[in-house]
Chain A
Amino acid sequence: MLTLTSPVETPFHRVPAGAKLLALAGVTVLLFSMGDPVMLGLALTGIAALHLVGGLGLLRHGLRMLWPLWPFLAVLLAWHLWTGEVRDGWAIALRLLAAVAAANLVTMTTRLTDMIACAERLAAPLARVGVPPRRVALALALAVRFVPVMADRLAALREAWTARSPRRAGWRIIVPALLGALDDADRVADALRARGGTD
């Protein structure tokens, strides 16, 4: 499955995931404690410069990941032009962009396997409250595998529907898709039990 990690190797890929997450936490706290639009603009410029260390492609990838924010920024801009507090509007918009861009940079430069390994270490204390990390890892792996299976099943049902009806399938295929998927889940559960269970 496609992940959001940049396929182009950057120097950041070699930094341990834990260090990047810690740095990200620090940067995020710092960003949310700043209120001056000039400082926040400088912070955003700095984060853009970090993207450039990974090359122009990484910067473009980063900009694409920020795109879904535009409706919020448009409303924010209109709001602050209307109330006249333009300075506050800039601070809020720049902070939002910088915080999201910094987090996206970590996501783009950390491989899924590194991220999972780091998450497993972070989740280790959960074992004490009755959530064994191994079961969490198994559930994650199963869900990753179920996503394409489920998508294929929905696509097949939709094709079967459109072959017989001029109308769109819409929600009507959710029930048959779920019935088939539930049978799959039962078979996977049987297979897991046959191989010694989840623990």
Chain B
Amino acid sequence: MERSVTHVALFAALVAVLGLVPALTLPGGVPVTAQSLGVMLCGTVLGARRGALAVLLFLGLVALGLPLLSGGRGGLGVFVGPSVGFLIGFPIAAFVAGLVVERWSAPVGVAAAAGAFLGGIVVLYPLGALGWALMLGKSVAEVQVFLLGFLPGDLVKVGLVALVTRALAQMRPGSLLSRG
């Protein structure tokens, strides 16, 4: 029990810190904010339930007024802003990513990539677009084109999630609670 509380807190902090780190610049100059990388890692490393709890804990810190969202945003304002769909989608994305790694017995890197893709793109994007649509008074069809801007970065992040999760599985098999 103690271990699961400290791991959930640790991964909430990881999501926060990856948002504070200036965007990683990839070869080719594609800027990537690493926050959603942290969200996907919560799921693939901690598993569905604990991963979602870690992301909820992170959102709790943001709501309480800590400037932990990428770009130093935070407070209650972000929950009525245009990006609210992504915020609500984050814990669900982590849950889905974790569920895939827990249930699919493929090699851990493959399962993590599939989980991160399903959670961080297939599940998160519609919710994010729905948030934009509601907050900006448009239809989902009208705003979905803007999602394409995120796609290259997020595909790279799916690859990174797979690499990091596999590395953790090899170096500390016991730390991968999703396969524990």
Interface residues of A (CB under 8 A from B): 1-5, 24, 28, 65-66, 68-69, 72, 75-76, 79, 88, 91-92, 96, 99-101, 103-104, 106-108, 110, 112, 115-116, 119, 135-136, 138-140, 142-144, 146-147, 149-151, 154, 168, 170-171, 174-175, 178-179, 181-182, 184-186, 188-190, 192-193, 197-199
A-B interface pairs (CB < 8 A), number: 171
Does A193 lie within 8 Å of B2, measured CB to CB? yes
- Binary contact readout B1-45 vs A (1 if CB under 8 angstroms, 0 otherwise): 111011111101110110011001110000000100100000000
A65 touches which one: B17, B25, B63, B77 (CB < 8 A)? B77
Give the interface size class of chain B: 35 or more
Interface residues of B (CB under 8 A from A): 1-3, 5-10, 12-14, 16-17, 20-21, 24-26, 34, 37, 57-58, 60-61, 63-68, 71, 73-82, 135-138, 146, 160, 163-164, 167-168, 171-172, 175
Does A151 lie within 8 Å of B20, measured CB to CB? yes
- Least CB distance, B106 to chain A, in whole angstroms: 21
- Least CB distance, A179 to chain B, in whole angstroms: 6
A182 touches which one: B1, B2, B138, B172 (CB < 8 A)? B172
- Within 8 Å CB of A4, what residues of B? 65-67, 74-75
- Within 8 Å CB of B9, what residues of A? 139-140, 142-143, 146, 185
Does B76 lie within 8 Å of A168, measured CB to CB? no
Name the residue of chain A whose CB is nearest to the CB of B10.
Answer: A185
Given A103-B80, A149-B13, A197-B1, the answer on whether A1 and B66 have CB atoms closer than 8 Å is yes
B76 touches which one: A106, A144, A171, A193 (CB < 8 A)? A106
9 contacts between A and B (CB under 8 A): A72-B136, A92-B136, A96-B81, A96-B135, A116-B64, A140-B57, A150-B14, A185-B7, A198-B1
